[in-house]
Structure 1
Amino acid sequence: MAFTLPDDLAPEIYPLAWLVGTWRGYGILTYGQDVPEQAVYQEMTFDHDGGPYLRQTTTIWTVDATRSRDLDFETPGLQGACLLAPAQIWSTETTYWRAVGQEQPAAAQGEGARPAPAQGATLPADGPRPAAPGKPTEPAAPTGSTGTSVTPGPADSEDAPEGTRTGPLIPVTALELVSADPAGHVAVWEGWIRGPRAQVGTQAVGRTRTSAPVTEMTRMFGLVGGDLMWTQDMAAFGVQELRTYASGRLGRVEDPEDPATRPGSALPPLPATAPGASAPDAQAGAPTTPAAR
């Protein structure tokens, strides 16, 4: 599907244009004994108001294992979303992305042209853009309380359109991000975006007195076969080293109001007398961050 540059997008964030839109899909959460492995439904929206930044809104739901289907990471994001019945909100977050400069790769201008990487964010190798991060395609299959499984698939294939290793060098755009969640965490991130791949790491994480301890996070985003793949590592709950926390595969939604793109739309409907509903906007309960679980 051809991508059209969004209207009124500020030139400074053209390198981020491929992110703009609504994405829905599925993924995995896991973090030792604090977060049992489990399949989740995910939704991300990247929008703008004409200013030199993007706003990202991310919401993650647990799923009803009695209604949801088992998936593997070869399932396209939107198709997977339609086979999951969300149960309750697990976390929400709002993040602002800013592009703060652009440099040519070192192979074109010498090693001194490379911007300094953010903490936990490694710059891409010289040469053509690499394949989108493979980590989102290789999570462990969840075996948590939901009972719904997501089976890992193979690593990105060499013939993936976005993973081609031929063509001109693509500039590296430096990024600064600020994020906040309703469970009492704010974070400042730095990193880079290059073609359909981005990687960021926290420079500082602040929290309220009663929020769960989170000290560091890293995230990677990549476009693979038209789907948005992402992964997050973090150090939390007294753990000093970064550990895998979340991953996901999401498909772009052309019409967010189309019933066919809603989560659970491919599942048998609930009986008319059954309490509750599967749509995320029908779920009750206050959102929390995973660290608050």
Structure 2
Amino acid sequence: MHATQPLDLSSRYQLACQLAREAAQRGLRLYRQRDQLAVEHKGGFSQDVVSAADRELEVFIKAELMKLFPEDGFVGEETGAQRLDARCIWVIDPIDGTACFLHGLHNWCVSIGLLVDGVPAIGAVADPNHDELFHGGRGFGAWVNEQPLRVSEAQDLRAGLLGVGTFYAEGKQHFMPFLGKLLDAGGMFLRNGSGALMTAYVAAGRLLGYYETCLKSWDCVAGLALLAESGGRCNNFLRGEGLLKGNPYLVACPGVYEQVAEMIGPSLDAD
């Protein structure tokens, strides 16, 4: 257990916003030259790709974070984990939505989140194609640019769209049964290729919720900090080895959370 001591969350929040913006603009320049980027496939999955842009942006973000807060821990999609015993752990996805990025779709972003004592405390999600920075955290509220975020007040899935996704082998057998139940209930779904953006959209009330059969922490820690400040609900995503290996994931406005969780069933929180 860490000793309780004052933390400079304000400076970390300002830095997260600044770096998300800067990295997103760097990413946008690379996006416009994407045909020249070296690309590799990870893990044998055709859609699990990494580009030189992912690596360049993560190296930039990590260096800036460690320069000002060398005592903090770090988890990045491309460069791995370090100092996981620190009170503050940055959780970074330099480009969430790489497949979209490489194919000329605008559904990608830079996601910078901070865990404090294991709880999402700060988030900055920068979408340069739409000139939007979703940002906020514990004590800071939740915002998109200068507008406050609030989850939807809907009480039924028929009132809007639900974000969905499946990718990794873990849990995908639950996906089609879930979609069948969702459609039977009169709901409709969206998949945009970026877990960070879909979580931010739930916080903003644009989506009623978002379910992924298995998500990675770097795709959602920033968004979870926004969700907590905008009135949303989430499952116990970080349980067990969630930080490093991921877990099933559900975020939603309070009015539909239980409805969606019931459709997913026990796989949502199974160990």
- TM-score category, normalised to shorter length: under 0.3
Greater helix fraction, Structure 1 or Structure 2:
2
Higher relative contact order (CA 8 A, sep 6+): 1
Greater Rg by CA: 1
